[in-house]
Amino acid sequence: MRILILTHAFNSLTQRLFAELERRGHDLSVEFDINDGVTREAVTAFRPELVLAPFLKRAIPDDIWQHWLCLVVHPGIPGDRGPSALDWAVQQGLDWWGVTVLQAEAEMDAGPIWAWEAFPMRPDRKSSLYCNEVTEAALAAVLRALQRRSATGFQPRPQEGIEEGARGSPHRPIRQTDRELDWTTEDTETVLRKLRAADSQPGIRDRLGGQTLRLFDPYPEDELRGPPGELIARRHGAVCRATVDGAVWIGHLRTEEEGNGFPFKRPAVEVLGEAARALPERAVGLKEAAHRTFQDLAYRERDGVGFLYFAFYNGAMGTPECERLLAAYRQAWERPTRVLVLLGGPDFWSNGLDLRRIEAAASPAEESWQNIQAMNDLVRAILTTRDRLTVAAMRGNAGAGGVFMALAADRVFAREGVVLNPHYKNMGNLYGSEYWTYLLPRRAGANASRTIMERRLPLLAGEAMELGLIDGVCGTSPTGTENEVAHWAFQRAADPALTDDIATKGRRLDAAEVEKPLDAYRAEELERMRLNFFGFDPSYHVARYNFVHKVPHSRTPMYLARHRSLRYRSKAAYRSGTG
Ligand code: COA
């Protein structure tokens, strides 16, 4: 089917649908919803059989839905109508929720239903539900809607026909006044639920340390106590604030006051400055904590296998995160295990350098340089581990250098449904490092490596496996992947043949080093990165600024808007009889 994806941005859900539909042989193009005239141009050029809208922030123009079948993915159950659908569902602590694929009509979200899918809610952040349950349900519902579109005689169901009990209702957008926190009366679960409903956007406005700020990135704390509303501790970049019956860690803040600080999220301690630095540092070791707390690095061990978790906010790994993870890796390395499994976080494996930290630095070029060196040191440590088998288990999505960091492990697995963006060019033609020039061709071969880097498109875990980028796809949820990889790792650790395999790997590393030293790959990559960071072409700095400041798109990039290529234009003219 010829499908035009009309979307506010090429976000994780859109990327997943794009990759899944393309894999099924559909003819796809993408247009960002920037301007009605541009959308009209897109449908005229592409003449789609279907316009699919997975992520819109405004209504589709009347003349478009009246002429073209437009299906909208709404993150709510049938009958639910209006913006902030998922925010309300999380804030109200609902037990289950769903995604509906409905036909666009005059009233937003009120059109007839083509398909819908329910899922049980998890007490977690909106962003986590979005990239897991919502994405899976949306994919299932979209595929069912497409089947129905191809079948003859299917009539979408009017919303009025949906039985009570399975039906939502219209609602207004959620406002900051609905989200307001009262730390002196609300318990931990209430505070947490509200913060989770606002994460990763738009956060909750609040007063903290004498400033008006937006609060993001919350974690429950079961042991620390203090006067309700007071800041009571800090840990790395996060601060802990007491509630009436416990406490909540806040990992990130954004200033609300114009001209005061940076208008994007940063680690809470850095935003609060002295007010946070005066707080007692409550360190937590690497051993997995027995109670709920903020712990972005954790280690556990069983039957000869070590498991190292690293869950950094949004998968961003700045210089401190890379250094802390390297220190944790070295600690794990000292343990008598035969297999070491790296698990990233449940929602993100890694998205490479921390572009926000870089943007906020006195010298972004210098900070970029420090960050890539720290990242490379980490990758090198994984890559040159000679005495045990290393395994990367990607439970969540990964992008840019984060993908190559995973490829440094001996075996790489990913959850089914994970989307990988193993390329750097979208960030202002960044060349990239992380030893990718060694790691990628070694796995995928020279030709596929070139295609992956140039294409700039997301890859599904299954496609990455077919290309040889990763070794296997396992599990359909973050926990499922963890369990399946753990099962595999226990078997490997108990396998006497592992000793020989580890010895073979050592010999392979020696041979590769003789052929071309790892340092040479690093030096060559960094030579190009030096130009990106310190050279005359500012593309990387401009792209990073736009990314961090969320500058709205002014056009759809050509690698997505395929209908803008000459080949498509002539095909469309032929179809419409004007060519
Ligand atoms: N540094 C800082 N923040 C990052 C980040 C990074 N490297 N990668 C993602 N984020 C943040 C986004 O700003 C967004 O923040 P929000 O919670 O405030 O909205 C959040 O993580 C989710 O990212 P988003 O871009 O919305 O996710 P996506 O699924 O739509 O896209 C990527 C995934 C990987 C394609 C995209 O995030 C990306 O291009 N990241 C940058 C990768 C990169 O170039 N890294 C540097 C070179 S190694």
Q: Which DSSP letter does residue 562 get?
A: G
Rounded mean pLDDT, 410-438 = 97
Residue 552 is assigned to a structural domain of this protein: no
Pairing of the two strands 305-310 and 339-344:
parallel
Least confident window among 362-371, 373-382, 487-496, 566-575: 566-575
Q: Which two tokens stand for residue 204?
A: 């909750």
Q: Is 286 inside a domain boundary?
A: no
Q: Are residues 327 and 448 in the same domain?
A: yes
Q: How far is the CA of 432 from the centre of ligand 1 (A)?
A: 15
Does position 579 have pLDDT exceeding 50, yes or no? no
Q: In the chain, what's the furthest Cα-to-Cα distance?
A: 74
Q: Using the predicted structure, report yes or no on whether residue 457 has a pLDDT greater than 50.
A: yes
Of ligand 1's listed atoms, the one at least distance from the Cα of 401 is 48
Average pLDDT over residues 451-479: 95
Looking up residue 428, the CATH number of its domain turns out to be: 3.90.226.10
Pocket test for ligand 1, best of 351, 372, 379, 549 (most atoms within 8 A of CB): 351
Domain shared by 131 and 207, yes or no: no
What does the alpha-carbon distance between residue 8 and residue 185 come to, in Å, rounded to a whole number?
39
Q: Give the pLDDT mean for 327-342.
A: 98
Measured distance CA(464)–CA(462) in Å, rounded: 5
State residue 578's pLDDT score.
54
Q: How many C-beta atoms surround the C-beta of residue 519 within 10 A?
A: 10
Does 302 lie in the same domain as 374? yes
304: domain range?
A: 297-534
CATH number at residue 250: 3.10.25.10
Q: Whose CA is nearest to atom 30 of ligand 1?
A: 11
CA–centroid distance, 502 to ligand 1, in Å, is: 35
Residue 463 has pLDDT above 90, yes or no: yes
11 Cα–ligand 1 center, Å? 9
Q: What is the pLDDT of residues 353-412, one digit of tens each?
A: 999 999 999 999 999 999 999 999 999 999 999 999 999 999 999 999 999 999 999 999
**Can you tell me the distance from the alpha carbon of 267 to that of 238, in angstroms, rounded to the nearest whole number?**
6
122 pLDDT exceeds 50? yes
Q: Look at residue 569 and tell me whether its pLDDT is greater than 70.
A: no
- Predicted confidence at residue 160, as pLDDT, reads 78
**What's the 427 CA to ligand 1 centre distance in angstroms?**
10
Determine the average pLDDT of the residues in 102-117. Answer: 92
* Residue 576: predicted pLDDT: 58
Specify the pTM. Answer: 0.96
Do 419 and 489 lie in one domain? The reply is: yes
192 and 307 share a domain? no
Shared domain check, 334 and 215: no
Residues 137 and 189 in one domain: no
**Is residue 548 in a domain?**
no
Query: Do residue 183 and residue 244 come from a single domain?
Result: yes
Those residues whose C-beta lies under 8 Å from the C-beta of residue 450, and which sit 6 or more positions away, are none
Report, as an integer, the average pLDDT of 471-483: 97
pLDDT single digits (tens) 498-549? 999 999 999 999 999 999 999 999 999 999 999 999 999 999 999 999 999 9
- Show the ligand 1 pocket: residues with CB < 6 angstroms: 11-12, 200-201, 265, 314, 316, 351-356, 397, 399-401, 421, 424, 426-427, 430
pLDDT at position 573: 59
500 and 480 part of one domain: yes
For the chain, give the mean pLDDT.
95
Helix locations, 211-295, DSSP H: 268-272, 274-277
DSSP bridge partners of 99: 117
Q: What is the pLDDT of residues 304-313, one digit of tens each?
A: 999 999 999 9
Read off the pLDDT of residues 214-246 as tens digits, 9 standing for 90 and up.
999 999 999 999 999 999 999 999 999 999 999
CATH number, domain with residue 109: 3.40.50.170
Number of domains the chain contains: 3
Q: Whose CA is nearest to atom 41 of ligand 1?
A: 351
Residue at 383 is within a domain: yes
574 pLDDT exceeds 70?
no
Question: Closest by alpha carbon to 50, among 124, 120, 101, 16?
Answer: 101
Query: Given ligand 1 and candidates 132, 314, 379, which is best to mutate, with the most ligand atoms within 8 Å of its CB?
Result: 314
Residue 192 sits in the same domain as residue 138: no
Domain stops at, among 277, 310, 333? 277
